[in-house]
C-alpha cells in the first residue's frame, strides 16, 4: 500500500499543527483513507524549527526553497500553508503545472486569484482543496459543495472572523470600549499588532467571497465585496441594540436578490434569540438558508493550529480517496462544474435592501421627531421601532434610536444626509444594518 506523499510549504502555526495531527492520528487516518498519508517534504525558512519537530522520523526532507518541493517527482499533493498572495500564487500554479493536487488554507489567494487557479487545475485534471480557507475546522466548504447540493441557496450569513467576534463579545459583556478590548486582545495574541485585516472586515470578506462563489456557482470576485469593520461601534450602540432585543455581530452576508448577488461584511443587528446571535468569543458560525433544507448552522473554532489542521487533513484524505475518480466526475472546485458557472452580477451597496438601526443626537425640543419622520416617510422608509431617551441632567441634547423596515440602501443614505442637515440634529447619524436572518 503505497503512501500518498505530501509536500508542505510553510511550517508556521498551521504547518506545525498539520504535522502534529497527522502524526498523532496516523493510525486512525490510515483506517479512514486506506493509504498512509505522509509528509515527505517540508519547505520552510525556519529549518531549525522543522528539524526539531521532525527529529527521529524517517523519510522527511527539509528544504529552504519551496520551488523545489512543488516540482519534486516524489510529491503527490502540495500543501500550501505560507499565506499571502506572493509567492503563494506562483507556487500553487507551479505545483498544478507539475500535476500535483493542491491543498491550501490561503483565503486571500483564493478570493483574489481563485478563478485563475481553478482553471489551471481543471486543465491539468488535479484537485484543489481549500476547506481550511474558511472558518478553520468547520467543514463548511464541504457542506456547501456537497452536503446541500439539492438546494437553491438563498443566503449565507457568517461570523467568520474570530478576532472581531471576540472584541464584540467582550464589549457587550463588560461594557468596554472597542479600543480597550482591542488592546487586551492584542496583548493576549487574539489580535495582530496591525489588526486592520480582522477589524475592518477584509479577512471576513475574503472568506465570504469564497463561500458565495460556491453557494451560487459564480466566479470568485473578492473585489465586488463591500467590507465595513467594527472600529466605529460604540458601547452605546451595543447597549441600545440590546434594549431593542438585538445583538451586534460582524456578519458576512451573501444573498441572492432578484437582480443579482449581495456580498457584504458589516456590523449587523441580529435578533438576540437567534442561535447565531449567541456565538461568543473567538468562535465562528455560518448560517446557510437553502430552499429545501431551510436554515442550517455550522459552528466551531475558526482559527488556531489544530482546528485549521483538521480542515487541511480532511482535504488530504478527500484527495486520497478521490484521486482515482475520473476528473470530470470529481466534486467541482466551486460546487458547480467549471463550464456551468453563472454570470449573475454582484449588486452595488446602494441597491441592497436591508433594515437599519439609526442613532442620532438631537436637541430636546418639539418638532424634532416630526422632521425626522417626515424625511424618512418622503423616501418610503417606514419605522419599525423607536427609543427616545430622556436627556441626562443638565443636558439639552438626547439620543433618538430608530429601527426601519426593509428599504434600499441608496434611499437610506439620502435620508441620513437630510437628517444630518437639520439644525436640530448634532453631528453624524450612526447607521448599522439589521438582518432578521429568518
Catalytic positions, written as ranges: 207
- What is the rounded CA–CA span in Å between residue 22 and residue 229? 36
| Binding residue for a copy of itself, selected from 33, 63, 257, 422, defined by CB under 8 A | 33
321 binds a copy of itself (CB under 8 A): yes
- What is the rounded CA–CA span in Å between residue 134 and residue 158? 10
Span of 21-29, 177-185, 220-228, 397-405 interacting with a copy of itself by CB under 8 A: 21-29
260 binds a copy of itself (CB under 8 A): no
218 binds a copy of itself (CB under 8 A): no
- Give per-residue burial for 182-205: e unless 16+ CB within 10 Å, then b: bebbeeeebbeeebebbbbbbbbb
Q: Minimum distance between the CB of residue 278 and a copy of itself, rounded to whole angstroms?
A: 6
Residue (of 36, 33, 38, 87) closest to 59 by Cα position = 38
Q: Are 206 and 213 in contact (CB under 8 A)?
A: no
| Binding residue for a copy of itself, selected from 70, 81, 148, 360, defined by CB under 8 A | 148
Residue (of 397, 388, 407, 393) closest to 244 by Cα position = 388
Cell of 282: 473567538
For a copy of itself, the closer of residues 319 and 347 by Cβ is: 319
Span of 87-95, 133-141, 227-235, 388-396 interacting with a copy of itself by CB under 8 A: 133-141
Q: Which residues within the stretch 326-365 sit at the binding site for a copy of itself (CB under 8 A)? A: 326, 328-332, 335-337, 340, 342
31 binds a copy of itself (CB under 8 A): yes
- What is the rounded CA–CA span in Å between residue 51 and residue 277? 44
Q: Minimum distance between the CB of residue 20 and a copy of itself, rounded to whole angstroms?
A: 9
For a copy of itself, the closer of residues 64 and 342 by Cβ is: 342
Distances (CA, A) of 195 to 28, 150, 189, 190, 229: 38, 39, 11, 10, 11
For a copy of itself, the closer of residues 29 and 241 by Cβ is: 29
- What is the rounded CA–CA span in Å between residue 431 and residue 418? 14
For a copy of itself, the closer of residues 147 and 391 by Cβ is: 147
Q: Are 320 and 35 in contact (CB under 8 A)?
A: yes
291 binds a copy of itself (CB under 8 A): yes
Cell of 274: 437567534
Span of 61-69, 181-189, 316-324, 382-390 interacting with a copy of itself by CB under 8 A: 316-324
426 binds a copy of itself (CB under 8 A): no
Q: Are 211 and 110 in contact (CB under 8 A)?
A: no
For a copy of itself, the closer of residues 138 and 185 by Cβ is: 138
Span of 118-126, 310-318, 343-351, 363-371 interacting with a copy of itself by CB under 8 A: 310-318
Distances (CA, A) of 255 to 215, 397, 433: 10, 39, 14
DSSP state of 94: H
142 binds a copy of itself (CB under 8 A): yes
Q: What is the DSSP string of 322-365?
A: HTTS-GGGSPPTBSB-GGG---PPBPPGGG-EEEEEEEEEEESS
- What is the rounded CA–CA span in Å between residue 348 and residue 360? 26
DSSP state of 215: H
117 binds a copy of itself (CB under 8 A): no
Size of the site for a copy of itself (CB under 8 A): 69
For a copy of itself, the closer of residues 152 and 374 by Cβ is: 152
150 binds a copy of itself (CB under 8 A): yes
DSSP, collapsed to helix, strand or coil, labels residue 241 as helix
Span of 8-16, 20-28, 42-50, 354-362 interacting with a copy of itself by CB under 8 A: 20-28
| Binding residue for a copy of itself, selected from 12, 36, 300, 391, defined by CB under 8 A | 300
Q: Which helix (H) or strand (E) holds 196?
A: helix 196-199
Span of 105-113, 252-260, 304-312, 345-353 interacting with a copy of itself by CB under 8 A: 304-312
377 binds a copy of itself (CB under 8 A): no
The binding site for a copy of itself (CB under 8 A) comprises 17, 21-22, 24-25, 28-34, 131, 136-139, 142-143, 146-152, 217, 275, 278-279, 290-301, 306-307, 309-314, 317-318, 320-326, 328-332, 335-337, 340, 342
Amino acid at each position: 500500500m503505497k503512501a500518498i506523499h505530501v509536500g508542505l510549504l510553510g511550517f508556521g502555526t498551521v504547518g506545525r499543527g498539520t504535522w502534529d495531527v497527522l502524526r498523532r492520528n496516523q493510525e486512525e487516518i490510515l483506517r479512514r483513507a486506506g493509504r498512509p498519508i505522509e509528509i515527505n517534504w517540508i519547505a520552510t525558512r525556519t529549518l531549525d524549527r522543522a528539524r526539531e519537530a521532525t527529529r527521529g522520523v524517517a523519510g522527511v526532507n527539509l528544504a529552504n526553497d519551496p520551488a523545489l518541493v512543488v516540482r519534486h517527482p516524489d510529491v503527490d499533493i502540495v500543501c500550501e500553508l505560507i499565506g499571502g498572495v506572493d509567492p503563494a500564487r506562483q507556487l500553487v500554479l507551479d505545483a498544478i503545472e507539475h500535476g500535483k493536487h493542491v491543498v491550501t488554507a490561503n483565503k486571500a489567494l483564493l478570493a483574489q486569484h481563485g478563478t485563475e487557479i481553478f482553471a489551471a487545475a481543471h486543465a491539468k485534471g488535479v484537485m484543489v482543496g481549500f476547506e481550511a480557507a474558511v472558518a478553520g475546522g468547520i467543514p463548511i466548504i464541504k457542506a456547501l459543495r456537497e452536503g446541500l447540493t439539492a438546494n437553491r441557496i438563498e443566503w449565507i450569513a457568517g461570523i467568520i472572523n474570530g478576532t472581531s467576534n471576540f472584541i464584540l463579545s467582550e464589549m457587550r459583556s463588560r461594557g468596554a470600549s472597542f479600543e480597550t478590548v482591542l488592546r487586551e486582545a492584542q496583548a493576549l495574541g487574539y489580535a495582530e499588532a496591525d489588526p486592520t485585516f480582522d477589524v475592518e472586515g477584509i479577512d471576513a470578506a475574503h472568506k465570504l467571497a469564497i463561500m458565495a462563489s460556491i453557494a451560487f456557482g459564480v466566479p470568485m470576485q473578492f473585489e465586488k465585496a463591500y467590507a465595513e469593520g467594527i472600529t466605529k461601534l460604540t458601547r452605546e450602540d451595543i447597549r441600545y441594540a440590546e434594549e431593542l432585543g438585538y445583538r451586534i455581530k460582524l456578519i458576512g452576508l451573501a444573498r441572492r436578490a432578484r437582480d443579482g448577488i449581495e456580498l457584504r461584511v458589516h456590523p449587523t443587528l441580529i435578533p438576540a434569540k437567534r442561535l447565531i446571535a449567541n456565538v461568543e468569543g473567538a468562535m465562528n458560525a455560518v448560517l446557510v438558508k437553502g430552499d429545501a433544507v431551510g436554515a442550517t448552522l455550522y459552528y466551531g473554532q475558526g482559527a488556531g493550529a489544530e482546528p485549521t489542521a483538521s480542515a487541511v487533513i480532511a482535504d488530504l484524505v478527500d484527495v486520497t480517496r478521490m484521486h482515482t475518480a475520473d476528473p470530470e466526475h470529481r466534486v467541482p472546485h466551486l460546487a458547480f462544474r467549471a463550464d456551468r458557472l453563472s454570470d449573475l452580477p454582484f449588486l452595488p451597496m446602494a441597491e441592497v435592501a436591508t433594515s437599519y438601526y439609526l442613532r442620532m443626537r438631537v436637541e430636546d425640543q418639539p418638532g424634532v421627531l416630526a422632521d425626522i419622520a417626515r424625511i424618512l416617510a418622503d423616501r418610503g422608509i417606514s419605522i419599525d421601532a423607536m427609543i427616545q431617551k430622556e436627556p441626562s441632567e443638565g443636558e439639552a441634547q438626547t439620543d433618538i434610536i430608530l429601527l426601519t423596515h426593509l428599504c434600499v440602501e441608496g434611499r437610506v443614505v439620502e435620508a441620513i444626509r437630510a437628517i444630518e442637515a437639520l439644525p436640530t440634529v448634532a453631528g453624524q447619524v450612526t447607521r448599522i444594518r439589521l438582518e432578521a436572518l429568518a
